[in-house]
Structure 1
Amino acid sequence: MADTAVITRPICRTCGTQYSGERADCPVCLDERQYVSPAGQQWTTLAGLREEGHSGRFAEQGPDVLGVGVTPGFAIGQRALLLRTAAGNVLWDCVPYLDDAMVRAVEELGGIDHIAISHPHFYSSMVEWAHAFDAPVHLHEADRQWVGRPDPAVRFWSGRALQLTDELTLINPGVHFPGSAVLHWSAGDGALFTGDVVNVCPDSRWVTLMYSYANHIPERPQAVRAAADLLAGYRFERIYGAWWDRVVTRHGNEVLARSVERYLRFEIGAVPAD
C-alpha cells in the first residue's frame, strides 16, 4: 500500500470508481444511472482520502457476515460485506478506500479468497483489494465496458449463474445493469446478497428494483418480472442490501415476491393514481 503509483491513481469523488490513469471525465457518472456533481467532475486518490482522515469501519451485519465500510462516508457510501464461509472468505461488493490497518484487520479474519461485485457503481477500488489479498474479482462480462482499471485479477463470467463454491452462486438477474449480479449463500436458512440490484428499503419489509436510483428511473416491468422468476428458484431467509443495516432478516423469498407484485401493480397501471 506504500507504492506511490498505487495511492495516486485517480478516484472519482461522486461514484468512487478508481481509474488506471488521469482522465477528464468519469464514464460511470456520465451514464444516466449516475450523475456528475453540480460542481463538476472532481477527483481524489487513496493518498488524498488518507490525508482527509478517512479510515475503515467494520461492524457485524448478520451471522458470519461482517460489514466493511469507510468513515467518514465517501462517494456513494455503500458498505461491502465479508462472508465467512466454509470454503473461505468472500468479499461481496467493494469500497473505494483501503489502508494498511484495514488489510491487517481482514487478514486477522483469514483474508479474502474471492471478490464478487454486484454492478459497476460498486467496482470502486476493486483492483486495490484484489492485489492486497491476492484474490480474483468476479464480474459479469456484460458489464466489461465499465471497468476503469483493467487488471489480470479481474475474471469475467457469463450466463445466468456461476457456481463460485459449493455454497455460493452468482446470479445475473439482468436489472439495473445488464451484467448485474446477486450472490446466493445456501448455508443455513439461505441468504441473498444484492447490493442495490435488489435494494432493501428503509422499511425492511420491502425491497425495490430500479434502473436508476439517483435519477428515479424505474426498471422495465418485464425485466423485473424476469428477475423475480429467476430468483424464486433460490431459497433465502435474509436479504442483504448495499447500505449499513439494510437487511431483511426473515421471510426473504416472501418479501421479494410481495415487493415485485406491488411494483408491477403500480408500473403497469393496475393501481389508480391518487
Structure 2
Amino acid sequence: MAEESPLDLLICSTCGSQHAVTTGLSSCKICDDPRQYLPAHGQSWTTLRKLQDSKQYRNEFVIDKLAHQSGNKNLLLVSIYTVPKLAIGQRALLCCTPRGNILWDCLTYIDDETVAKINDLGGVSAIVISHPHYFTTCLHWAEAFGCKVYLSSEDGEWIMRRGDPARQALWTGNRLPLLGPVGNDENKNEDGADFVAIKTGGHFPGSSVLWWKETRKLMVADTIMVVPSGVYHIDRLPGTVSFSFMWSYPNFIPLPPDEVHNIWKAIRDTDFEDAHGAFVGQDTRGDSRRRVLESAKLIVKNMGYVGHAIHAEEA
C-alpha cells in the first residue's frame, strides 16, 4: 500500500491542526477542548493538497522595522500570515539573525513559494510553538526546512501528528536557550544564546513566550494577549490596560489571579521593550515589560483581589 502523503492528512478547518490520518475522524481534540469551539456548521476538514490546489491562499511577508535594537541591520523580524484568513488566522514571526533564524509559531498553510521566500531570508534553524492552538502543520514545516520544531512537553496530549524526534522535540524545564555560539540549535548556556523560550503556563500548561535578547523583544503569541488599548499607548490615562491573560480567549474565560502572577514571575527577569502578539497589528512599542505588570495588577484588582501578592511586585 502506498505511503500516505502529508499533503493528504486531515486538517481541522477551525483550528488548522493537522492530524495523522487521511480519513475516519469525527472530531478534533483541540477544538473539543473547552478553550476552543466549533462554528455553527460544526466539524469540517480539509488538507494541504486541497488548500494548495484551490489557488485561493498565499502567505504574506511583512518586515517589521525594529524600534529598539543594537543597530545591526542583519536583524530582521518578519510577520508571515495567510490571506485570505485561514483557520484561527494567527501570524508566524520569523526572527532573522546572522547565527540563524527562529520561526516563532506556525501557520497551517505552506507551499513552495513560502519555502522559497523563507530560504531567501536564510531558512529556519528551529521552530518554537507557543501552545497547541498553533501546532497546525508544524511538523510539515520542520521537514520542509530540515530543522527541529520544539513543543512544550506539558502539552504533549494535544499533538495530533507525531514525528521523528530529530524533527519534533518535546522540551522540558522552564527555559530553552536557542542559537548560541556553539551551534544553530538549542544551546545549554542561556548567557550566550540569542533567544530564550520561557514557559509561563496559564493559557495551556506549557504556554510559552520567546525572548529575543539583543532586540529587547518578547514574542508573546496569546500566552500574553496584546489588547487594543495597548497598541497606541502614548499619554494614556493611568490604569489603561495593554495586555490580557485568559484561559480561553474565544470563550472569555479568565485565568485565576495566581496563574496571572505566575506568568509575570516567569518573565520578570527578562529585559524587553516591545511585545509582539499572535495577530497582525498586535504590537506594543516601548515600556512593554512594565506594562505587562501594570496590566496584570489591573486585571487582578478588578477581579476583586485587591490584597493579592502580585500588587507587591515591582517592574
- Please give the range of the TM-score, normalised by the shorter of the 2 chains: over 0.9
The equivalent residue for 2:83 is: 71
**Aligned residues of 1:7 and 1:46 also touching (Cα < 8 A):** yes
Moved more, 201-210 or 103-112: 201-210
The equivalent residue for 1:31 is: 33
**Aligned residues of 1:9 and 1:45 also touching (Cα < 8 A):** yes
Identity across the alignment (%): 33
Amino acid of the structure 2 residue aligned with 1:140: S
Deviations 1:94-137, CA, capped at 9 Å, x for gaps: 00000001111111111100000100000001011001000100
Distance 1:87 1:217, change over 3 A: same
Distance 1:62 1:4, change over 3 A: farther
SS in 2 for 1:193: strand
Moved more, 21-30 or 59-68: 59-68
Alpha-carbon offset, residue 51 of structure 1: 3.3
Alpha-carbon offset, residue 269 of structure 1: 4.9
Deviations 1:10-60, CA, capped at 9 Å, x for gaps: 111100001110322100000000012221110011122123311111112
**Aligned residues of 1:192 and 1:236 also touching (Cα < 8 A):** yes
Q: Report the Cα distance in structure 2 between the residues aligned to 1:71 and 1:38, rounded to whole angstroms.
A: 22
The equivalent residue for 2:112 is: 100
4+ runs deviating over 6 angstroms: none
Unaligned 5+ runs, structure 1: none
Number of paired residues? 268
- Which of 269, 276, 280 matches 1:240? 276
Aligned-residue Cα RMSD (Å) equals 1.5
SS in 1 for 2:49: helix
Amino acid of the structure 1 residue aligned with 2:142: A
The equivalent residue for 1:159 is: 173
The equivalent residue for 2:188 is: none
Distance 1:39 1:248, change over 3 A: same
| 1:60 is aligned to 2:63 | yes
Distance 1:62 1:139, change over 3 A: farther
SS in 2 for 1:24: coil
| 1:182 is aligned to 2:185 | no
Alpha-carbon offset, residue 219 of structure 1: 0.7
Deviations 1:212-247, CA, capped at 9 Å, x for gaps: 001100011101011112211101001010000211
Alpha-carbon offset, residue 61 of structure 1: 3.0
SS in 1 for 2:265: helix
Alpha-carbon offset, residue 76 of structure 1: 0.4
Moved more, 64-73 or 157-166: 157-166
SS in 2 for 1:127: helix
The equivalent residue for 2:258 is: 222
SS in 2 for 1:81: strand
Larger Rg: 2
Alpha-carbon offset, residue 270 of structure 1: 4.2
Moved more, 47-56 or 163-172: 47-56
The equivalent residue for 1:199 is: 225
Unaligned 5+ runs, structure 2: 67-75, 180-192, 234-241, 308-315
Q: TM-score, normalised by structure 2?
A: 0.82
Deviations 1:115-165, CA, capped at 9 Å, x for gaps: 001000000010110010001001110001111110111101112111123
Amino acid of the structure 1 residue aligned with 2:132: P
Q: Report the Cα distance in structure 2 between the residues aligned to 1:98 and 1:157, rounded to whole angstroms.
A: 24
Q: Report the Cα distance in structure 1 between the residues aligned to 2:304 and 2:10, rounded to whole angstroms.
A: 43
